[in-house]
């Protein structure tokens, strides 16, 4: 295996919204490399649909304080309030900046950026839904990804496409490099660098029914976890209420923002019983639980009565064409249903990781309850946990997160690399990656990646989904033990150096297994229900014991150690979450 060596001031791993926004900040200010295992425009930011909230007040009265309140309440009070305040205040400038970058927002008749309703976003602390989401039809994420990529092209950002980062090198307690596998050649690339920002996105491929792309395997958090960096709040994984039945493909909350209604088998608008004020526009965790409850109580639809309907048939056809063109096309393509005349069967789908690599508001990775910064290590976007989403992210706040904290992380990283010299990078830092690859290629075991992955996804969907108990989680841990043993016996078919996806899928599965364990161990220990984590055996929120973030650390012997850090409070005191 040939090894190529590079030297940069800063390396960004991942080229979705957060990575590209950080790259715009770093380009021209320090020598920067952006590494992605895909091409930038293939990143999953492009699949985001509905919008990006900011209290522009373009169409009705609004304020960033209301946005902040909604974010904290939506996150079931596990949100760090000062961080969320930064996000909601800076949202306004972030949207304006994207407009200046060329983003084609939908416009009001006066030519201003148009705004629409979204789940959990309300006027004056919960009075009624508010029009806060800035959008571009139902392809807002596509437009953000394209626009940020366009700006990177304008700035001549230095991309390394189809390089798969598999390890990080720490020397004397600071970052000194990353190690990547070249998909086109099978060579290794060692980057000596002063700092690295991880922006690798989510890891929803640990579940069977998932809105996530195949690429979302948590490589960034996974490789850092193996190097001893803790992962925060892993138990909080969002299940989006409206995934296409069986496939899990996302149908945006914008469908309900535009007036879509959820109905059960008898046609009842059941959300009126669960959230009398905002109904279908309640936050995602509540809507997903309501759907599961309807199904469990026998009011579901579909072949196995395990879905409900999303009904758009009462909306004017021209509104559907103008505001929801892409998602209605998905329904036509994959279900053969015409959404203008027939209701759409949907079910909750694994969607978004609230947890991840712990950072402060400048994207610096913090490794303990005291906020100790690991020098040179940064993270932003879904792979990070700031924590602005708490235990349940509000719709649109992920697009906001990636641009606000991508920018802040990029800026902080530039300041850092200007203050120090390039650290030494000892020979042989690629040994671990080389060993992993050689084992997978030359191993004699007969296990297949696809079988283990399918078993993992099925078990996680059965035992660690919307509803969890001590029993299901313990059972999942036992399953994981078996899967990890089988993983050690994996051998790949493809032994060649050129576009060996058999090999990279095997490497990715390793991270999914590790992150699943961190999730399940964290979830089992948290004996309460909060936001996206619902424990049937502990159905109430327990503020006395659990107003704290989980940190999961992998010890040298492979066991998971849990510790906790307090939630950073603010003006808003926890109260019962009603909508």
Partner 1 sequence: MIDIELKVKRFNPDCDEKPHWQTFALQAEPTDRVLDALHTVRWDQDGTLSFRRSCAHGVCGSDAMVINGANALACIVLVKDAAGNDGGTITVEAIRGLPVIKDLVVDMEPFFAQYRSVMPYLVNTDDPGYTERLQSPEDRARYDDTTKCILCAACTTACPVYWGNSEYVGPAAIVNAHRFVFDSRDEAGAERLDLLNQRTGVWKCRTAFSCSEACPRGIKVTQAIQEVKRKSLFDRI
d(C-alpha 9, C-alpha 360), whole Å: 21
Tell whether residue 151 is a contact of partner 1 (CB under 8 A). yes
Options 334, 415, 489, 558; binder of partner 1; rule CB under 8 A: 334
Tell whether residue 403 is a contact of partner 1 (CB under 8 A). no
Options 3, 96, 477, 562; binder of partner 1; rule CB under 8 A: 96
Tell whether residue 124 is a contact of partner 1 (CB under 8 A). no
C-beta of 68: minimal distance to partner 1 in Å? Answer: 20
d(C-alpha 193, C-alpha 182), whole Å: 18
Tokens of 110: 């006066």
Catalytic residue among 284, 468, 486, 535: 284
Nearer to partner 1, 108 or 563 (CB): 108
Are 510 and 488 within 8 A, CB to CB?
Answer: no
Q: Enumerate residues 6+ apart whose C-beta is below 8 A from 187.
A: 1, 2, 3, 4, 181, 497
Residue 421 per-residue DSSP state = P
Options 4, 5, 100, 578; binder of partner 1; rule CB under 8 A: 100
Q: Which string of DSSP letters, residue by residue, matches 371-396?
A: --EEEEEEE-STTEE-SSSTTSPPTT
Tell whether residue 336 is a contact of partner 1 (CB under 8 A). yes
Name the 3-class secondary structure at 244: strand
d(C-alpha 29, C-alpha 92), whole Å: 25
Nearer to partner 1, 290 or 335 (CB): 335
Site for partner 1 in 502-531 (CB under 8 A): 502
Tokens of 531: 């936001």
Site for partner 1 in 443-462 (CB under 8 A): 448-450
Tell whether residue 28 is a contact of partner 1 (CB under 8 A). no
Sole window of 145-153, 278-286, 289-297, 552-560 interacting with partner 1 (rule: CB under 8 A): 145-153
Options 342, 432, 447, 494; binder of partner 1; rule CB under 8 A: 494
Nearer to partner 1, 157 or 476 (CB): 157
Tell whether residue 143 is a contact of partner 1 (CB under 8 A). yes
Nearer to partner 1, 247 or 422 (CB): 247
Nearer to partner 1, 292 or 504 (CB): 504
Of 169, 173, 549, 174, nearest to 368 by C-alpha is 549
Sole window of 110-118, 218-226, 356-364, 431-439 interacting with partner 1 (rule: CB under 8 A): 110-118
Nearer to partner 1, 44 or 67 (CB): 44
Tokens of 416: 């850092």
Tell whether residue 89 is a contact of partner 1 (CB under 8 A). no
Q: Which string of DSSP letters, residue by residue, matches 487-526?
A: HTTB--S---SSS-HHHHHHHHHHHHHHHHHHHHHHHHH-
Tell whether residue 249 is a contact of partner 1 (CB under 8 A). yes
Tell whether residue 2 is a contact of partner 1 (CB under 8 A). no
Could you count the other beta carbons within 10 Å of the beta carbon of residue 111? 7
Tell whether residue 413 is a contact of partner 1 (CB under 8 A). no
Sole window of 389-397, 422-430, 442-450, 520-528 interacting with partner 1 (rule: CB under 8 A): 442-450
Options 57, 213, 373, 477; binder of partner 1; rule CB under 8 A: 213
Residue 299 designated active-site: no
Tell whether residue 42 is a contact of partner 1 (CB under 8 A). yes
Residue 369 per-residue DSSP state = T
d(C-alpha 350, C-alpha 208), whole Å: 8
In order of 33, 256, 307, 309, 338, the CA distances from 313 in angstroms are: 49, 12, 18, 11, 9
Nearer to partner 1, 268 or 342 (CB): 342
H/E run at residue 561: strand 560-566
Are 42 and 215 within 8 A, CB to CB?
Answer: yes
Query: What is the C-alpha R_g of the chain?
Result: 23
Name the 3-class secondary structure at 331: helix
Options 492, 507, 512, 519; binder of partner 1; rule CB under 8 A: 492
Residue 433's region, left for phi above 0, alpha for psi from -120 to 50, else beta, is: alpha
Catalytic residue annotation: 284
Which residues contact partner 1 by CB under 8 A?
Answer: 38-39, 41-44, 46-47, 93, 95-96, 99-102, 104-113, 136, 139, 142-143, 146, 150-151, 153-154, 161, 184, 213-215, 247, 249, 326, 330, 333-334, 336, 448-450, 492-494, 496-502
């Amino acid at each position: 295996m040939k090894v190529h060596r590079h030297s940069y001031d800063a390396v960004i791993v991942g080229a979705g919204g957060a990575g590209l926004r950080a790259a715009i900040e770093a380009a021209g200010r320090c020598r920067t490399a952006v590494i992605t295992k895909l091409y930038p425009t293939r990143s999953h930011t492009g699949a985001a649909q509905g919008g990006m909230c900011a209290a522009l007040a373009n169409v009705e009265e609004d304020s960033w304080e209301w946005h902040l309140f909604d974010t904290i309440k939506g996150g079931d009070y596990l949100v760090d309030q000062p961080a969320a305040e930064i996000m909601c205040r800076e949202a306004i400038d972030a949207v304006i900046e994207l407009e200046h970058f060329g983003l084609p927002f939908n416009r009001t008749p006066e030519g201003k950026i148009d705004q629409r309703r979204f789940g959990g976003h309300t006027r004056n602390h919960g009075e009624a839904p508010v029009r806060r989401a800035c959008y571009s039809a139902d392809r807002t994420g596509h437009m953000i990804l394209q626009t940020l990529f366009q700006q990177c092209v304008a700035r001549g950002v230095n991309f390394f496409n189809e390089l798969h980062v598999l390890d990080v090198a720490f020397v004397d307690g600071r970052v000194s490099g990353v190690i990547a596998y070249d998909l086109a050649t099978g060579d290794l690339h060692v980057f000596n660098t002063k700092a690295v920002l991880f922006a690798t996105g989510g890891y929803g491929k640990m579940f069977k029914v998932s809105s996530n792309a195949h690429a979302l395997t948590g490589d960034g958090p996974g490789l850092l976890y193996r190097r001893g960096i803790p992962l925060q709040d892993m138990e909080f994984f969002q299940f989006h209420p409206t995934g296409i039945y069986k496939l899990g493909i996302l149908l945006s909350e914008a469908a309900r923002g535009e007036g879509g209604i959820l109905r059960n088998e008898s046609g009842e608008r059941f959300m009126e019983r669960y959230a009398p004020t905002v109904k279908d526009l309640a936050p995602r965790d509540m809507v997903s639980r309501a759907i599961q409850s309807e199904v469990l109580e026998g009011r579901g639809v579909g072949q196995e009565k395990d879905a409900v309907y999303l009904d758009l048939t009462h909306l004017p056809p021209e509104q559907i064409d103008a505001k929801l063109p892409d998602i209605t096309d998905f329904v036509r393509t994959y279900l053969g249903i015409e959404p203008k005349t027939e209701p759409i069967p949907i079910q909750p789908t694994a969607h978004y990781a609230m947890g991840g690599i712990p950072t402060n508001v400048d994207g610096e990775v913090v490794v303990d309850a005291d906020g100790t910064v690991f020098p040179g290590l940064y993270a932003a976007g879904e792979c990070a946990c700031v924590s602005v989403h708490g235990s349940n992210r509000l719709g649109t706040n992920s697009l906001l997160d990636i641009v606000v904290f991508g920018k802040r992380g990029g800026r902080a990283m530039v300041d850092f690399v200007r203050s120090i010299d390039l650290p030494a990078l000892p020979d042989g830092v690629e040994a671990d990656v080389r060993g992993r690859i050689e084992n997978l290629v030359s191993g004699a075991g007969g296990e297949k990646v696809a079988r283990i992955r399918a078993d993992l996804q099925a078990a996680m969907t059965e035992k660690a989904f919307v509803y969890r108990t001590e029993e299901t989680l313990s059972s999942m841990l036992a399953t994981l033990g078996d899967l990890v043993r089988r993983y050690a016996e994996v051998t790949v078919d493809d032994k060649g150096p050129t576009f060996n996806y058999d090999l990279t899928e095997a490497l990715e599965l390793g991270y999914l297994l590790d992150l699943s364990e961190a999730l399940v161990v964290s979830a089992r220990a948290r004996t309460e229900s909060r936001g996206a984590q619902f424990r049937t055996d502990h159905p109430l929120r327990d503020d006395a014991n659990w107003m704290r973030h989980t940190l999961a650390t992998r010890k040298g012997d492979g066991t998971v150690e849990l510790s906790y850090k307090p939630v950073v409070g603010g003006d808003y005191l926890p109260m019962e979450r009603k909508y």
